[in-house]
Amino acid sequence: MHLKSIAPTGGTPSLLDVLTYFAHSKNRDAGSLTKELSDRLIEFYGSCSVSFSASGTQSLALLLSAMRRACGCRRVLTGAYSCPDIVSASLWAGLDVYLIDVDPHSLEVRVEDVPEVFLDSSSIWICSNLYGLADSIDHLAQTEVFLVDDACQSALTCEHGCSRLGLRNDAFGLISFGRGKAVPGVGGGAVLVSPSSRCADLVLQELVPNCLSLSQSSQIKALVKGIAFSLGESPLIFNLIRHLPWLEIGKTKVAHNLHPHHIAHSQLVWALKALDMASERKSISDGKCRDWRNALNHTELFFPSERASSSAYDLGLIRYPVIFKNEAHADAAFKRLDDLGLGASRSYPLPLDRFFIGDERVKTIGDMRGARDVANKILTLPLHSHVTVTDIECAARVINKTISGD
């Protein structure tokens, strides 16, 4: 019988840290906290406008809707293996979605599959920068496509001595403060708009105001969720709750109905504390990445973090993705690791088109073979502070034994 289980993601500020922060900011209203969070983001990203909402998905939906009205955009182009909320937000904004197949070993979007007719000013290209991996944007330099540089899973990642993921090439940027994200809080999101972005002034005019005010009960719910997230990362507590069916832990959920709201007071506090811990969290993540790579050094796997497009970036991964060469091995390894409570995840279990079967607004470019292959063969491994070297070595042995047939 296991006494502990490791959560697949982590890094949410502890309850003690946040309660201390709350005590110091109890007399501050949401307006002053919003300004502080905005100033902190501007300090990292440079001159930009910041617009908040209650989640990263809502922020993306509001941004895309504003771009449709202000810039005349009609479609979204994005990789076929990513977070389904990208599609949900695009549909809410009234845009068609074209999913582009991905390389089954590196997760890189197959840009060569995209017809040139789509690379004009009526298209928005969303780089998801999945797990913190930097998507290449070189192919967009000579086009009229609008770029949304989604930094929900890669915020605070930067090119060596240069641009930050989120505002590369004067893109429109996006950040989430949700659990397991690059700035892991208890929800909330932000749109970043550089003054040099194309149509920046028009988009900003359309962004404000589009959010509803949160009720008192919603504010309390956000606070309770934060307490639960913080406590739930403890391996002892996670071991007790991870199989409770109503929590649906590990299940990929699709946001079909969006109702954008303002960011909550407690979400602001958690996000500010998460930013305070960003440097420490990145250092932990980098160390765990090295430990996983060393432990799996002689294992027959593909490592997307070593793809060429990421070599120019100082990455801060939120999970460590590995891709098996055999679907049966991936299934068996996940089951063994899950049984041992070692924090492996199958996210995401399907390519994006399979989440939206029957919706004619969601179309595919390519045969989706690569995205299906990734969904069937990928595992992501935890990188937070509750993962020990012993855990990593144990997981590596399980993976090696699975591949060798033991």
CA atoms within 13 A on the CB side of 9: 22
Taking phi first (over 0 means left), then psi (-120 to 50 degrees means alpha), and beta for anything else, what does residue 156 get?
left
Tokens of 344: 């492996």
Full set of structural domains in the chain with CATH: 15-207 (3.40.640.10), 278-404 (3.90.1150.10)
pTM for this model (two decimals): 0.93
The pLDDT, as a whole number, for residue 384 is: 93
The pLDDT, as a whole number, for residue 210 is: 61
CA atoms of 106 and 56, how far apart (whole Å): 25
Return the amino acid letter for 310. Answer: S
Strand blocks (E) in 135-246: 146-150, 158-159, 172-176, 189-193
- In the chain (406 residues long), the average pLDDT of successive 10-residue segments reads 75 80 73 92 90 94 96 97 96 97 95 93 96 90 93 76 79 93 91 94 84 68 78 84 73 78 87 89 92 95 86 82 96 95 92 95 95 97 94 96 90
The pLDDT, as a whole number, for residue 1 is: 43
The pLDDT, as a whole number, for residue 242 is: 81
Residues composing the chain: 406
